[in-house]
Amino acid sequence: MAEVGGHCDARFTPVREAFTANLDRGLDTGASVAVALDGELVVDLWGGSRDPEGSEPWQADTITNVWSTTKPMTALCALILADRGELDLDAPVADYWPEFAAAGKGAVEVRHLMAHTSGLAGWDEPLTTHDLYDWERCTSLLAAQAPWWPPGTASGYHALTQGYLVGEVVRRITGETLGGFLAREVTGRLGADFHIGLAPEHDARVAPVIPPGGDLVGGLDPGGLPARTLANPRLDARVAWEPAWRRAEIPAANGHGNARSVATVQSVLACGGAVRGVRLLSEQGCEAVFREQANGVDLVLGLPLRLGVGYGLNSPAMPISPNPRACFWGGWGGSLVLCDLDARLCVAYVMNRMGEGTAGDMRGVGLVGATYTSLPG
């Protein structure tokens, strides 16, 4: 049986059992899972190894690249500004970023950026991975180009662009980068070990991701929306091994943390805006998430998605929770976070061995299921 560190309240034993089973069966190499209930960590477990050979144990402070589980962190920053009255989610993006009005985008609203409905799922201009480290280039190209479909009419997963789009709005309002705002206003206040733009002193704690065997864009029509989004640039997961990737701010994809830090931050939303004596949102500010923005087959992912403002919403097609006021997001390879406002519950799962595809896999879903099994009723 795999050696697992951390703590788990006795009533959540099914979570420990499911987590240990993933390690024992070789589904995970190294991973962490956390459950916050009423803002308190009732599960904080880690186990396995940081490397495929099993020579470096996953430690309490191990972190890794969580890919798109970064997106809820970025969304939370925008929601905080909206709650303060500094950002209007229904306002044109160009009110904050005048250059964005180019190419017929004057009516595109902030909520469209957050819900993957702006029509800017990717770049027209061919980009390399290293171009992603150039904030000005990435944002100026998006500001100049026309939408790929009528904004607000459908979702098309903004795999990389969402972070630049929302991040630039945050920068125009605050004068800070998204990673800087997150560190000052969110993670710093909560004592959460999550970073968008990782400083060199943390490199020794990073568990390098173990890439999946498949390719995100293999077999896709080169001219279709999925390929135009996911193949420009065509990411190799091993890019996350590079210091340049870690130092950059790519607020849709290069957040580094562990399950504890993800659950700590996102439990702010699950608990109505405040956790551990720190209030970041009003209860009304949290409810903005549940304003449905899209409900149908996503143009990029080809999956049925119900989307709110910055988060995926519970739906019959993707029943992530038995409760209606639940939202979620996941990252390439399998990381996952769930926020359940009805149960005041947050579940987070972070790992280094990546599964196939962009829509997660059953490891994280199984841990969510085990969590609900552990709750009364």
CA 51 to centroid of chain Cα atoms: 23
Order of strands, sheet of 255-257, starting from the edge strand that comes earlier in the sequence: 64-65, 255-257, 195-196
* Catalytic site residue from 32, 49, 68, 118: 68
What is d(CA 132, CA 136) in angstroms, rounded to the nearest whole number? 10
Sheet strands (E) in 38-122:
40-48, 64-65
Alpha-carbon distances of 22 from 17, 25, 362, 367, rounded to whole Å: 9, 5, 10, 10
Instruction: Write the DSSP string, 93-160.
Output: GGGT-GGGGGGGTTT-BHHHHHTT-SS-SS-SS---GGGGG-HHHHHHHHHHSPPSS-TTS-----TT
Whose tokens are 């017929």? That residue is 104
19, β-bridge pairs: none
Query: Can 155 be counted among the known catalytic residues?
Result: no
User: Do residues 75 and 68 make contact, with C-beta atoms less than 8 angstroms apart?
Assistant: no
Alpha-carbon distances of 342 from 100, 191, 228, 252, 357, rounded to whole Å: 37, 25, 38, 27, 30
Q: Give catalytic residue positions.
A: 68
